[in-house]
Amino acid sequence: TNLARMLEHGRLGGTGKMLILPVDQGFEHGPARSFGPNPPAYDPHYHFELALAAGCNAYAAPLGFLEAGARDYAGRIPLILKLNDHDLLADEEDPEQAITGSVADALRLGACAIGFTIYPGSTHRNAMYGQIREIAEEAKSVGLAVVIWSYARGSALSKAGETAIDVIGYAAQIAAQLGAHIIKVKLPTDHIEQPAARKVYESTGIAIGTAAERVRHVVQCAFNGRRIVIFSGGAHAEEATFLDEIRAIQAGGGFGSIVGRNAFQRSRADALTLLGQITDIYAGKTG
């Protein structure tokens, strides 16, 4: 029911597609880097208003941001409580996340889902897989959906490897096997990181030449479309480039996007225009 609440809400309600506003960047990247480009975004209420005005399916944030808007926005938009977070105050080759909220917090805030980041590629990955196994079991036992941010990074991977097609496909599969209902990954490139995988991609001719083909393959890796795969927006980009990515996700059978910086780092008016264009593409109203 909670998954359905998210799928039915907002401008994309009923289409099977999703647009989610995630605002954990204040924790993940720092407040000035995140909100400095558009200072009204320092205010937690700004993001509730933006997600509502844009007709997003859901708004995802850590505990503090959700608590800061809970009284004024209760029941107005599906919420996803991020239960772990990472900061950039220490330089680490192998990142891990701290647990920053609980399933009880998610219930108290009336959230539809819990969100959790894993870092396939980090030496801490097995601990993170164990954490989400326990948290997902608890969340599902009380009817909450599970959203996994599957971000490949760590000393096992090159920089290019973090978005390599084989690694993103693998990250999507791991999140699906960990029981995610919604899987969030980065848009992959055509780089292949692992030599053993390269042989298979080349010998079997898996189509990964275009962005849309790569999206299709990642969706295939997440149980052939039986799990919802959405793609992260990334750093602030030119509108035309960004919309080309959205068209590729749509053409490749992706389920939508989770767009943070490309929304709240623009002025409210520009963000609403861009988010409106995104929902039009996913709703099939424009090509």
The distance of closest approach from Cβ of residue 21 to ligand FBP in the complex, given in angstroms and rounded to an integer, is: 9
Rounded to whole angstroms, how far apart are CA atoms 188 and 217? 10
Q: Tell me the closest approach of the beta carbon of residue 256 to ligand FBP, in angstroms.
A: 12
2 or 25: whose CB is closer to ligand FBP? Answer: 25
Pull the structure tokens for residue 212: 């849309």
CB of 116 to ligand FBP, least distance (A): 11
Cβ distance to ligand FBP smaller for residue 60 or 139:
60
Q: Which is nearer to ligand FBP, 183 or 206 (CB)?
A: 183
Minimum CB separation of residue 86 from ligand FBP in Å reads 8
Cβ contact 41:48 at 8 Å: no
**Rounded CA separation 276/259 (Å):** 12
Residues recognised as catalytic: 184
**Ramachandran sector of residue 110 (left: φ over 0; alpha: ψ -120 to 50; beta: rest):** left
Spatial neighbors of 80 by CB under 8 A, at least 6 apart, are: 6, 20, 22, 58, 59, 60, 61, 111, 112, 113, 114, 115, 147
| 28 or 49: CB nearest ligand FBP | 28
Tokens of 235: 């750093």
The DSSP 8-state label assigned to residue 179 in this structure reads T
Sites of contact with ligand FBP (CB under 6 A): 22, 24-25, 28, 149, 151, 232-234, 258-262
